[in-house]
């Protein structure tokens, strides 16, 4: 028996560890709330008098604090009592319960950002039982299981079937759970999950493991860039790129590295991947060489592939991408323009010091 219990504990720890890399977004106080109506029937747990069944109607409000733990307020009105058929009031008894909810599906199988179509939750709590014919108040309790069928694209609607036992804890000598006075009930509830502040009807998740991996990758790329040293090139083959901000020519070598031009102004050639305005690692390395508080002009171009209209837009996107990054580093951008396709320069943005 001890080995069995130990195995269950270890399995639970393993499940929790596997789910530890998934984090849920903190929610506001009014987020992750659901409300609905419930109908059902019950019979005495001692089965001395099963029929007629005791019908009930009510409302239910639930607040989920995490994908696993929640709380629930349930108000039920029992419309008949097969123990006392001569009771004349329409509502024989009422029960106002405060229950805790544990989503077993999410606890053992994890939560991926959207509820499963079918989920199982354990429900238990205490309540206030009122018998209206004799005006008697009692402490009550509920133990049950919620079997939820979640429907809709966003799982905003749920039909919940709940088999449960409602215990009457009112005893003269001591409070105890016995079948005498308890009701075995089966209720069907429709619940609507209100939209939360994050735009969904449920908790939003983040894959922390993937985020950490991406941060590690970027840190590695940054460290590689910072450790690089300029290469000494014995022979430079140059070409001219006639697309600077003021029409001046910028001389670059075969790697795209700028060489001081005729006006002795610094210039940087920022390469782009095909059909992209995204700044890659090489682009960041080049732009990081520009001194802060500088004032620059930016001209971007595209290759000859594609239509003139698209290449013009692509070159403008590239110019703005460079400008946004430089502004973030405290560099003033005097101008940032796209020149469309250019067979000599290709997929680059040219940054020059403004006059």
Q: Kindly state whether residue 82 falls inside one of the protein's structural domains.
A: yes
Check whether residue 163 and residue 253 sit in a common domain.
Answer: no
| pLDDT at site 353 | 86
Whether 117 is in a domain gets the answer: yes
Pairwise CA distance, residues 347 & 243, whole Å: 12
Q: Is residue 219 one of the residues assigned to a domain? A: no
Residue 231: inside a domain, yes or no? no
Same domain assignment for residues 12 and 133: yes
pTM over 0.75: no
Average pLDDT (298-303) is 91
**Is 149 part of a structural domain of the chain?**
yes
CATH code, domain carrying 279 = 3.30.1330.60
**9-52 pLDDT tens trace:** 555 444 444 444 555 666 678 888 999 999 999 888 877 776 77
State both tokens at 191: 């619940």
Q: How far apart are CA 266 and CA 333, in angstroms?
A: 15
Residue 123 has pLDDT above 70, yes or no: yes
Cα–Cα distance measured from residue 130 to residue 138, given in angstroms and rounded to the nearest whole number: 6
Which one-letter DSSP state was computed for residue 75?
A: E
Residue 285 lies in a domain: yes
Tokens 């000598």 belong to which residue? 173
Q: State whether 197 and 269 are in the same domain.
A: no
Q: Count of domains in the chain? A: 2
Please check whether residues 18 and 166 belong to one and the same domain.
yes
The SS3 call for residue 47 is coil
**Tens digits of per-residue pLDDT, 74-94?**
999 988 765 555 556 678 889
More confident residue, 13 or 311: 311
Q: Do 136 and 245 fall within a single domain? A: no
Least confident of 73-77, 113-117, 257-261: 257-261
Band the pLDDT of 267: cuts 50, 70, 90.
confident
What tens digit of pLDDT does each residue of 213-253 get?
667 666 766 666 555 554 443 433 334 444 444 444 555 55
Q: Cβ atoms within 10 A of the Cβ of 176, count? A: 9
Residue 12 lies in a domain: yes
Contact 206, 22 (CB under 8 A): yes
Exposed, middle or buried: residue 32 (CB in 10 Å: 0-12, 13-18, 19+)?
buried
* Average pLDDT, integer, range 101-129: 90
End-to-end Cα separation, the chain, in angstroms: 83
Report CA torsion sign: 211, 216, 222, 225.
negative
Residue 192 sits in the same domain as residue 74: yes
State the average pLDDT over residues 280-288. Answer: 88
Is residue 262 pLDDT above 70, yes or no? no
Position with higher pLDDT, 349 vs 170? 349
Are 164 and 170 contacting, i.e. CB atoms less than 8 angstroms apart? no
- Could you read off the pLDDT of 176-185 as tens digits, one per residue? 567 777 888 9
- In sequence order, what are the residues at sequence separation of 6 or more whose Cβ sits closer than 8 angstroms to the Cβ of residue 10? none
Which of 324 and 21 is assigned the larger pLDDT? 324
Residues 63 and 180 in one domain: yes
Residues 195 and 310 in one domain: no
Residues 178 and 243 in one domain: no
Peptide bond into 52 cis (omega under 30): yes
Domain boundary among 183, 206, 229: 206
Q: How far apart are CA 97 and CA 83, in angstroms?
A: 22
3-state secondary structure of 169: coil
Q: Give me the residue label for tokens 């903190």.
A: 26
202: tokens are 């449920």
pLDDT at 74: 96
What is the extent of the structural domain holding 301? 238-353
Cβ neighbours of residue 114 closer than 8 Å, sequence gap 6 or more = 154, 155, 202
Q: Same domain, yes or no, for 174 and 243?
A: no
CATH number for the domain that contains residue 105: 2.40.160.20
Task: Indicate whether 104 and 57 sit together in one domain.
Answer: yes
Is there a domain that residue 226 lies in?
Answer: no
Q: Residues 337, 319: contact at Cβ < 8 Å? A: yes
Give how far Cα 79 sits from Cα of 55, 76, 91, 192, 235, Å.
6, 10, 5, 25, 97
Q: Same domain, yes or no, for 253 and 155?
A: no
Average pLDDT of 114-124? 92
Q: Which of 186, 206, 226 is the last residue of a domain?
A: 206
């Amino acid at each position: 028996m001890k080995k069995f219990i130990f195995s269950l504990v270890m399995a639970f720890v393993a499940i929790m560890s596997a789910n530890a890399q998934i984090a849920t977004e903190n929610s506001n106080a009014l987020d992750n709330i659901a409300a609905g109506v419930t109908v059902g029937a019950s019979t005495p747990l001692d089965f001395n008098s099963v029929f007629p069944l005791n019908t009930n109607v009510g409302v239910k409000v639930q607040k989920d604090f995490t994908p696993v733990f929640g709380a629930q307020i349930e108000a039920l009105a029992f419309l008949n009592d097969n123990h006392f058929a001569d009771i004349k009031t329409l509502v024989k008894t009422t029960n106002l319960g405060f229950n805790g909810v544990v989503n077993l599906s999410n606890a053992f199988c994890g939560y991926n950002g959207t509820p499963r179509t079918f989920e199982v939750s354990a429900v238990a709590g205490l309540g206030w039982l009122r018998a209206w014919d004799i005006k008697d108040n009692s402490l009550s309790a509920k133990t049950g299981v919620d079997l939820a069928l979640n429907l809709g694209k966003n799982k905003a609607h749920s039909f919940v079937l709940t088999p449960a036992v409602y215990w009457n804890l009112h005893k003269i000598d001591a409070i105890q759970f016995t079948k005498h006075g308890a009701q075995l009930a089966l209720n069907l509830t429709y619940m609507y999950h209100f939209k939360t502040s994050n735009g969904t009807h449920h908790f939003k998740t983040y894959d922390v493991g993937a985020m950490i991996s991406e941060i590690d990758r970027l840190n590695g790329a940054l460290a590689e860039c910072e450790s690089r040293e300029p290469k000494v090139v014995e022979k430079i083959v140059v070409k001219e790129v006639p697309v600077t901000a003021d029409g001046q020519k910028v001389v670059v070598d075969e790697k795209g590295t700028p060489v001081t031009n005729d006006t002795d102004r610094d210039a940087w050639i920022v390469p782009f991947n095909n059909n992209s305005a995204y700044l890659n690692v090489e682009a960041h390395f080049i732009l990081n060489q520009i001194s802060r508080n500088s004032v620059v002009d930016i001209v971007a171009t595209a290759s000859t592939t594609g239509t003139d209209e698209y290449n013009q837009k692509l070159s403008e996107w590239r110019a703005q991408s460079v400008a946004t990054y430089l502004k973030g580093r405290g560099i003033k951008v005097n101008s940032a323009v796209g020149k469309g396709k250019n067979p000599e320069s290709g997929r680059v943005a040219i940054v020059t010091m403004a006059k």
